[in-house]
Structures are given as C-alpha cells and as structure tokens.
Amino acid sequence: MSERPKKPPQFSSETEERAFWESQDSSEYIDWSQAESVQLPNLKPSTKTISLRLPVSLLERIRVEANKRDVPYQSLIKAWLAEDIDRHGK
C-alpha cells in the first residue's frame, strides 16, 4: 500500500463502531502489508451434523472399542475416519 491508511473516527459506543465497520471497506483504514500471521490453536474447527446409517452390530462394536479407550464413540469414529483419509491420501 503506497498511501497511508485513513484514520478511523472516534466512536462513542461499540454499537456505533460496529455500524461503521459494517458499512466500510477496512482496506482503506488498515495497512494490511503490516499484518502478521497468527496461530489460534484453541479454536475448534467448524462441524456439520450428518446422518449415517450403520448396522446395529457395527455400532455396538464401535461403542465397545470406544469404551475400551474411554472416549465417546462419535469421537472414535471421527478419529478413525481422519486416520484412514490421512493414510490413503498420501
């Protein structure tokens, strides 16, 4: 960015500031060339609920394995899926 960024106005409330930023292009007010990358390790990835039909006997076997590992069965299924994709995706 060759020009200096604009200075944002002073705000009397968070509501006023929010309304301002909802209607403005931040690129005019921020020098993005000075931005730094950050790590946010405690953020949980977005999830989506799905419906998956499994034979009852398979679900019971999964629950037994999850119980042995002392983890929720849904978490075990996610871990197994991720491991399998990692293994076959390389």
CATH classification code of 45-90: 1.10.1220
pLDDT beyond 80 at 3: no
Confidence at 90, pLDDT banded by 50, 70, 90: low
Distances from the Cα of 66 to the Cαs of 4, 83, 87, in angstroms?
57, 15, 21
For residues 77 and 62, what is the distance between their CA atoms, to the nearest angstrom? 8
What pLDDT digit, counting tens, does each position of 21-65 carry? 999 888 888 888 888 999 888 888 888 999 999 999 999 999 999
Q: Which part of the chain has CATH 1.10.1220?
A: 45-90
Q: pTM for this one?
A: 0.52
DSSP of 34-85: G------TTPPPP---------HHHHHHHHHHHHHHTS-HHHHHHHHHHHHH
Report the pLDDT value the prediction gives residue 41, as an integer from 0 to 100: 86
What's the whole-number mean pLDDT along residues 70-82?
96
